[in-house]
Structure 1
Amino acid sequence: MSSSRKPLFAKRAMSVLLAALLAPSIASAFTPFTVRDIQVNGIQRVDVGTIFSYLPVKVGERFTEEQAAEAIQRLYATGFFSDVSIDTSNNVLVVNVQERPTIASVSFNGMREFDDKAILKSLAQVGFGPGRVFDRSMLERAEFELKQQYLSKGKYGVEVSPIITPLPRNRVGVSFDIFEGGQAKIGSIRIIGNEAFSEGALLDEMELTSSGIMTWYTGTDKYSREKLEGDVERIRSFYLNRGFLEYTAEPPQVSISPDRQDISITLTLHEGKPYKVRSVKLAGDLLGLEDKIQPMVAIKEGETFSAEKSSATAKAITDYLGTLGYAFANVNPNPVLDRESHETDLTFYVDPGRRVYVRRIQIGGNTRTRDEVIRREMRQQEAAWYDAGSIKTSRDRIDRLGYFNDVNVTTAPVAGSTDQIDVNVDVKEKPTGLINLGVGYGSTDKLILSGGISQDNIFGSGNTLSLQLNTSKTNRAVIVSHTNPYWTRDGISKTTSIYYRRTTPYDSRDSFGDYRVTSIGGGMNFGVPISEFDRIFAGLSFEHNKLSDLSPQYTPQAYQDFVKEYGESTNAVIFNVGWSKDTRDSAIAPTKGSYTRLSGDLSAGDLRYYMLSAQQQYYLPFGRAYTLAFNGQVDWGRAFGDKTFPVIKNIYGGGIGSVRGFEGASLGPRDTLTNDYLGGSRRIVGNVQLYLPFPGATRDRTLRWFVFADAGQIQTTGNSVCYRGINNQSADPCGWKYSAGIGLSWQSPLGPLQLSFARALNAKEGDDKQAFQFQIGTGF
């Protein structure tokens, strides 16, 4: 072998197979030799040891032409190199490589449909992403994957253009310019093979629809592969729930028009015949509880088979066994078909598994709220037998705290143990500070602003601290309150409050009253839990009231009469007692359950009266995204002895929270001297509200719109007369008022926001109407 450098193999931008084929053609000049040393040229990022590991020869070993071909094939197969050659010089094996560039970054321009992180994760699954070796074939796969993501959303007009930017140190930046285009709309949906049910009945089961009058709003005519798969499953469930156990369906046929704007969907079904249940049996390990389990069987002999009832039975049995500690119980319904008689024998095989107990309860996701605030709501205890019912109750109690947007409770087996599990509670915190804002406009007051700040979970302790401020011309107030929901370890709560209020007349367009009521007071209230959902409460407060700025000509007659009867200054000690029951599934946006509250106030001292109050709310779910809500509220007050109910304790109605469409606080008697709103000692309010999903936010319970109807009345009790204002200009201020309208509800970062546009249905002469109303920090 001469000392001059003789190339044995070289391959530039050629396949591995071609390199192997070229090897024999130049091997005639190749004489095997013993390798004295190995050198590697051209590496930048790849470790030299990596190249040595792919060579079939080591220093001191004999190097042959077969090994040379194998070395080139191995190095090309790594995908790290675009060029590989092997030279020799004085028995030194020289490996020359040219590395492929590395992807330094991947970016997207014009992408609005997807999140960058989600798409990068999807591309990583096909081998493309930052830190990977750049390869044209991988780039094409990345393009294809991007287009597939858009096609799944019905965007068939998408265009993807990659831009490669060379960077120092043999790197490249990859940018995808994306023109998303419009989403293809469904022109038609055809169902073939249906005989037992009409095409219309089956189309009603689908979420996707063809284009129609309202699809611009609902968006159901926009094609999505995921939604179509869901619709195929819904139709399958529709048939199985009606006994068609042999139902099958072919894969949906989806075709698109040449302009890529309209999609046609064809579903081909094979119905079969419906089956009736001939017998129902329980089998497996019933733990001697057959008499307890048998009543849970929802499907009966002689009925048409229903997959829904069968699944409900399996779930009921599983949940029951879960309350006994069998966390991994499995109930498998097995229908055996008699195809001649179209009957089925249904057997529920019960496998309770091993009884387990909870080793540890782990809290996660709470960056601000302390663990103890969540843990004290848990009814499942550590080192106790697993109880599915207690875990569900725990989850609901945590959700009702109102501190979290999402509460997820899962279980996980303990590694290496057959009878232990861990319970994981993952929460997603929401802002718990509320800013309450009220805005109004009057011909006298002009702009009226009021506000307040409250923190429901101060410092993550679960305590509530609030400061309410009102700086309008008619009302000024400062209220500071603190609530500790676990004043004792048994769950007794304590609320302490102090307040200052100054009230002047609420001026309407026709009133001109003048007075000032200043109230200073404080109190303490305790709540005692008597069950998982029930709480009784009681408290005591002291209040000093003083009337000033009085004049015979401009002070409302009702307030002049109050001064004559009670004097300008009064003191009152107020006792309160009540009971509440809360079974709502969420404090943020309830979809089911109820809330009940009964309370009574009894005042002693200068003011001697009592006020009874009751409120009832119901939330009824309809389907997955609709909730019908009912609210009813009654307040009824009377004075002791022969005195009249103190006008400074009257309650008001009208506006958000009672009867929308009428101006706030405008219902009830009007003063005969100044025409001021007086409120009353009796209030009845009823609301019905249908919550509907906001377009594009079906799964977001915090943003919903609604339609509503309100009814309410403010009246006086006892022998008091309903005053109708100056010269009786208000036709019927104490009568029933009705309204209806639409609105928007949003759990905004500033607190619950409610917008409403209402029409007063039976407004009469003298009533003050207000169609558009909004408030931040309001309830129902």
Structure 2
Amino acid sequence: MAFFANAAMADSFVIKDIRVEGLQRISAGAVFNVLPLQVGDEVNENILARSARILFKTGNFQDISLARDGDILVVQVSERPSIASIELDGNKSIETENLMQGLSQAGLSEGSVFQRVTLDRLKVELERQYIAQGRYGARVEPEVKPLPRNRVAINIKIKEGDVATISKVDIVGNTVFTDEELVENFELKESHMFSFFKGDDKYSREKLSGDLEKLSSFYQDRGYVNFRVESTQVSVTPDKSEVYITANISEGERFTVNEVKLTGDLKVPEADLRRLILLRSGQTFSRSLVTTSNELISKRLGNEGYTFANVNGVPSLSPAGDNTVDVTFYVDAGTRVYVRRINFLGNTKTRDEVLRREMRQMEGSWASGQLIENSKVRLERLGFFKGVTVETPRVPGEDDQVDVTYSVEEQPSGSIGASVGYQQGTGFVFGANLSQTNFLGTGNRVTIAANRSDIRDSISFSFLDPYYTIDGVSRGYSLFYQKTDISEDDVISNWASDRLGGNLTFGYPTSDISRLSFGIGFESVTVYGSRRSPLQVWELVGYDLYEANINGAFTQSEDFLNFPLTGSWSISTLNRGVFATRGSSHTVSLQITSPGSDLEYFKSSLQSQKYFPITQDWVLRLRSELGYLDAYGDDDKPPFYEHYYAGGFGSIRGYEDRSLGPREIQSAYDFGDPRAIGGNFLAEASAEFIFPMPFVKDSRSFRTLFFIDAGNVFDTHRKDEYGFELSEMRMSAGIALSWITGIGPLSFSLSKAFNDQPGDDVQSFQFSLGQPF
């Protein structure tokens, strides 16, 4: 800034007019709004100097001079150029969008006033950011190109360079634990065989800070209360390609717990809180146990409405000087908090009442952390949402009230439309369907389907209202009709059945996680046999095998009318309705034909699954299923068309759908190879290692896993040939992917059968639409 005045300006004068010269983009009005002078003011040298500084602070001018022309004040300015464009070149590790946002926050954006000092400061900061990533060779070279009309174009060229690799991590001062034990849980590793894949040998300042926190926790969890990191040195080789890290530590002495105290405003019985303290007298001190105890006590108070309780466990050295500490838990319960309002965000399709009926936390009652969390879990179990988050903001101006806000992200819950496709084992399929687990946002489940394939026509309708009553009693009913044609020689079955039936089911909640269901139905079945039918079919339909073969007739049939009664008990602690990651579910069911039915049989099953989180991203899922079918009363054998089948998705992957188990009994008149006809005893088990899908940021709609399947179907009425034996359990392993699409879950698997036997139909690649795993 320069300030010029003629000799007369040494004396004060009264301004009769103000003239601004040198403006290009900035209006004179903008200058007058800032200039603290106006016509009629008496000014002197000091006042004019102060006014010039005020103008300069706006940042719009790179030069200002004030002069006197008689009694006229002349303001001569030279504007700073404006930024016409900003271009970035060479950045890869930091996205352009994030860099542009940072530039804008620093005052560099298109249309703004250009200041060289801001650009220089930003250059230094960008290089620091790259150094923090371990890119010590990074260079930021800004180029400013003048343009007409007092504008500039900024081109920032970035040479990121490579991330320096870690050659050595040294811990100095450790005597109790070895370097290997201390760095085992570090995120930063010395270069090793798999570093090119894992990238854990790339230096990062943030990761080093995290590793030092882990080191501190490691010692303090083992009783070393006075442990500290004295200093850290990061050395870089001259070519800036390798990094050497040295951490100097002081271990201190190991301490045990002398006395555990609980003090403060407890609000609940002290005995209840003491049970939640994990530290005991005589035990080695552990910082993690103190932190966990703090959280447990806070949650316990939160369940009683003290949402903002503050609990702090503080260790203090025992005055006896015997390497013991007293741990005092200070409790400040605060004020009991009540829920004013429960809000829902993000449910554009699902009605509020569907979400509200899942609430266990009520408006007007005190805020219970457990009930709020239970409500969140129940929303996730619906299967309508990718994710659910909950917040409890305070009500402005109120110390004892909060609002509870659940934010949901909806996902596809069914499909509507017509379809033309191909299904393994059935051929081309033409159909129209509506399948919705959240029909029109009501939470009701509706399925209407009409399909036609090469061998089968079917139509079905089902409806389930999970809240038929306000208490959670459910009601469902269904109707179905199916007709199968086996007149062709190349069909996949040796028998066919036409079915017409329906059922009515009621479910009763016995707790938040368990339910009893009962149902009654009717089913009219007509069974046909083909020229290739096994003896079991001919025995059932009472048809002469010889005549069927000679005449080629397919009209012989037998009709059955049955009235099945069903009952089931289920319990589920799964955290999500689709793609769960923790919890378990178990279902026990029984179906038995009632008196008056043409056939007397019962069918029972047990289905179980449990998820075991291994890490934050890896989960182990174990699944098992047992099923048993048999006759009772005057019947010796159950109907074969109710048999269990194994193989394919949801069963033993790697084997064709419904291909495992007992084979047909053939006679001299049968044609072709014997085919699977199922059995009355099913045993299956699976182990799945679920891992995040690579390169997918939001994996809530995807599931990738490694699996091992085992199982088979057996016939206890043909024990000599197909009785249960562990050696007959088929096994397979592979990798699978499932994806929730707008038309339903789409699943693929690539597998290898381990112990397939002659006659087994193996299938390495399989797919399924509508059945997630």
Query: Which residue does the alignment assign to 1:13?
Result: none
d(CA) in 2 for partners of 1:347 and 1:325? 24
CA apart distance, 1:306: 0.7
Write out aligned runs for 1:530-545 (5 A).
530-545=510-525
Alignment-derived partner of residue 361 in structure 1 = 342
Does the CA contact (< 8 Å) of 1:84 and 1:98 recur in 2? yes
1:375 aligns to 2:360 (yes or no)? no
Please report how far the alpha carbon of residue 753 of structure 1 lies from its aligned counterpart in structure 2 after TM superposition: 4.6
Deviations 1:578-624 (A, max 9, x none): 12111012233323211111112223533432211111111122232
Which residue of 308, 314, 318 maps to 1:328?
A: 308
Structure 2 counterpart of 1:613? 605
Q: 1:773 aligns with which of 763, 766, 770?
A: 766
Is 1:416 the counterpart of 2:375? The answer is no
Go from structure 1 to structure 2 and tell me whether the alpha carbon gap of 1:492 and 1:228 turns closer, same or farther (over 3 Å shift). farther
Q: 1:99 is matched with which residue: 69, 79, 89? A: 79
Alpha-carbon shift at residue 108 of structure 1 (Å): 4.6
**Residue equivalent to 1:396:** 377
Aligned residue in 1 for 2:294: 314
Q: CA deviation at 1:266?
A: 2.7
Per-residue CA deviations over 1:209-256 (Å, capped at 9, x if unaligned) read 223233333333333333332222222211111111111114543344
AA partner of residue 587 (structure 1): G
Listed as ranges, the matches of 1:334-733 within 5 Å are 334-338=314-318, 340-433=321-414, 454-467=435-448, 473=454, 477-503=458-484, 514-547=494-527, 550-551=529-530, 553-564=531-542, 567-604=557-594, 605-640=597-632, 641-671=634-664, 672=666, 673=670, 674=672, 675-695=674-694, 700=699, 703=702, 705-718=704-717
- In structure 2, relative to structure 1, the CA distance for the partners of 1:263 and 1:368 (3 Å cut) is farther
Equivalents in 2 of 1:321, 1:232: separation in Å? 33
Please give the root-mean-square deviation of Cα atoms over the aligned residues, in Å: 3.6
What does the per-residue CA deviation read over 1:725-759, in whole Å, with 9 as the maximum and x for residues that have no partner? xxxxxx99993212233444555565545443333
C-alpha contact (below 8 Å) 1:72/1:84 kept by paired residues: yes
Contact 1:508 1:676 survives alignment (8 Å): no
Tell me the residue number matched to 1:203: 183
Tell me whether 1:226 sits opposite 2:225 in the alignment: no
Name the SS for the 1:216 alignment partner: helix
- CA separation in 2, counterparts of 1:115 and 1:456? 40
Q: 1:540 to 1:388 in 2, by over 3 A?
A: same
Secondary structure in structure 1 of the residue aligned to 2:275: helix
- Secondary structure of 1:79's aligned partner: coil
- Name the CA distance, whole Å, in 1 between partners of 2:102 and 2:116: 18
Structure 1 residue ranges without an equivalent (≥5): 1-15, 725-730
Q: How far apart, in 2, do the equivalents of 1:288 and 1:648 lie?
A: 61
Cα pair distance change 1:303/1:534, threshold 3 Å: same
Structure 2 CA distance for partners of 1:425 and 1:212, relative to 1, 3 Å: same
- Displacement after TM superposition at 1:388 (Å): 1.1
Could you say which residue in structure 2 is the equivalent of 1:9?
Answer: none
Matched, 1:248 2:228: yes
Alpha-carbon separation, structure 2, partners of 1:261 and 1:156: 8
Compare 306-315 and 148-157 and name the one that shifted more.
148-157
Cα shift readout 1:418-462 (whole Å, capped 9, x = no counterpart): 2111212122222333699997667xx788899976333333332
Contact residue 166 and residue 173 of structure 1 kept, 8 A: yes
Q: Residue in 2 aligned with 1:295? A: 275
Q: Distance in 2 between matches of 1:376 and 1:679?
A: 43
User: For 1:595, what is the secondary structure of its paired residue?
Assistant: strand
> How far is 1:666 from its partner?
1.2
> Which amino acid is the alignment partner of residue 631 of structure 2?
A
CA distance in 2, matches of 1:328, 1:503: 65
CA deviation after TM superposition for structure 1 residue 346, in Å: 0.9
Aligned to 1:82: 62
Q: Quick one: distance in 1 between partners of 2:152 and 2:643?
A: 75
TM-score (norm 2): 0.87
SS of 2:113's partner is: coil
Structure 2 vs 1, CA of residues 304 and 527 (structure 1 numbering), >3 Å: closer, same or farther? same
Looking at structure 2, the residues matched to 280 and 227 of structure 1 have their Cα atoms a distance apart, in angstroms, of 35
Offset at residue 66 of structure 1 (A): 2.6
For residues 31-78 of structure 1, what are the alpha-carbon distances to aligned partners after superposition, in whole Å with 9 as ceiling and x for unaligned?
543111223345566564542344343210123233333333222221
Equivalent position SS for 1:232: helix
Contact kept in structure 1, 2:268 and 2:301, CA below 8 Å: no
For residues 43 and 397 of structure 1, do their structure 2 counterparts lie closer, same or farther at Cα, with a shift above 3 Å needed? farther
Q: Give SS of 1:662's match.
A: coil
Q: Is the 8 A contact 1:358 1:420 kept in 2?
A: yes
- Contact kept? 1:504, 1:514, Cα under 8 Å: no
Which range moves more in the overlay, 409-418 or 35-44? 35-44
CA offsets, 1:689-712, max 9 Å, x none?
A: 222344566984655543332221
- The structure-2 alpha-carbon separation of the partners of 1:764 and 1:514, relative to structure 1 and needing over 3 Å to count, comes to closer
Which deviates more from structure 2 when the two are superposed, residues 660-669 or residues 272-281?
660-669
CA contact (8 A) 1:710 1:740 kept: yes
CA distance in 1, matches of 2:742, 2:159: 34
Query: Does structure 2 retain, via aligned residues, the 8 Å contact 1:652–1:679?
Result: yes
Alpha-carbon distance between aligned partners in 2 of 1:48 and 1:732, rounded to the nearest angstrom: 97
Q: Contact 1:437–1:452 (CA<8 Å) still a contact in 2?
A: no
Q: Which moved more, 1:312-321 or 1:495-504?
A: 495-504
- Structure 2: runs of 5 or more not aligned: 544-555
1:518 aligned partner, one-letter code: D
CA contact (8 A) 1:333 1:346 kept: yes
Q: Give the match's secondary structure for 1:296.
A: coil
Contact 2:420 2:429 in 1 (8 A): no
Structure 2: distance between partners of 1:88 and 1:108: 46
SS of the aligned residue for 2:749 comes to strand
More off after superposition, 642-651 vs 351-360: 642-651
SS at match of 1:39: strand
Of 345-354 and 251-260, deviating more is 251-260
Maintained 8 Å contact 1:218/1:695: no
Structure 1 pair 413–512 and aligned structure 2 pair: CA distance change class (3 A): closer
Cα deviation digits, residues 495-550 of structure 1 (max 9, x gap): 343334345679999x97554433333333332222111112222333333345x4
Q: Kindly tell me: are residues 633 and 421 of structure 1, through their superposed partners in 2, closer, same or farther at Cα, counting changes over 3 Å?
A: same
Secondary structure in 1 aligned to 2:106? Answer: coil
Q: Go from structure 1 to structure 2 and tell me whether the alpha carbon gap of 1:185 and 1:556 turns closer, same or farther (over 3 Å shift).
A: farther
Q: Equivalents in 2 of 1:547, 1:147: separation in Å?
A: 79
For the structure 1 residues 587 and 110, does the alpha-carbon distance in structure 2 shift closer, same or farther, using more than 3 Å as the test? farther
Distance 1:189 1:479 in 2: 66
Flag the 1:624–1:733 CA change in 2: closer, same or farther, 3 A. Answer: closer
Deviates most, 126-135 or 190-199: 126-135
- Equivalent residues, number: 749
Q: In the alignment, which residue of structure 2 is the partner of 1:265?
A: 245
